[in-house]
Structure 1
């Protein structure tokens, strides 16, 4: 009987521990989601931890409990964004291209451009946070190990695995800039031209234009 009761208590403790872990993960994700939205809207300096807590629906002490400080929370937001970001997607696509050397160059480039444009459309907070970082001298993003390592790896893949004959660094800059600009400047440059940067027809034309420029 005592052994059975001990077994039940152990099971109950494990269930409680699992529920606490799950609740903690839910709270942590809510904080990251709220922080990402507010940092994108207002920038790092103008966003307070209290605003993040209010939006996330958590108590004031939780951000510090999980992340230690506002600065570390911001770094965690950046790390999470870049774990899903264009740099990793670009690297994956380049490696696929390297493994299929018989694939038509234009078709391979089309896939890369489509993926970048789709990523920018689906992640507007990524664009806004990066723009805020640029305004503040890239003090966090410019030294983010994940981003630095992935970009250098992408250049290496272009040189060694694909055998890109032109400057790989210039290719990456042109590729990202050509896909980035219309969506980053959707309200400032595109709107006065009467263009909707999120319109599927515009994005299709933009894709073909970028491919032609890069292959040219």
Structure 2
């Protein structure tokens, strides 16, 4: 019997901590159920107007969401606990900054043409949240490309030329037109949309239901 595989389109931003949590929960559900994933990532900018120098993370979060420093710290602690349970380290610290993610999305789009979209996406999330690297810096992006086995000079050329800027904008516009206003947003089997990190049990249930539907459809 062939192991089923479910297509999952994930709209996300490398600045979004819930996006890596949601993906890792989905990945764990896939391992638990034995149901494979066909993941494709799509761009979303939480802060398209973020200036080049970025913004202090705590200041940004408290201002954007109208919460106190204490509430922000509690939220980060909860994220760290949930990340640790999934094997991911959120190294939140006083020097962490929110960044403009448009160049990072262009690198991901370029990497897709080299069969490395998924690897680069995960590397960018780790670079930002674990290693506190500036993923808006072309030098950093080229280095991340090299770390995932790609050509650093070619990656840098793609970023500098902005050859993938228009494809990223078109993809963002498409998902906005589909009603996606927050991330992570996951579309299963090109039909079913779920937003937010749903948890391992919920993702496992979704995968099992879709696998059953696929098996029934093929007799």
Give the TM-score normalised by structure 1.
Answer: 0.29
Higher strand share: 2
User: Does 1 or 2 have the higher relative contact order (CA < 8 Å, sep 6+)?
Assistant: 2
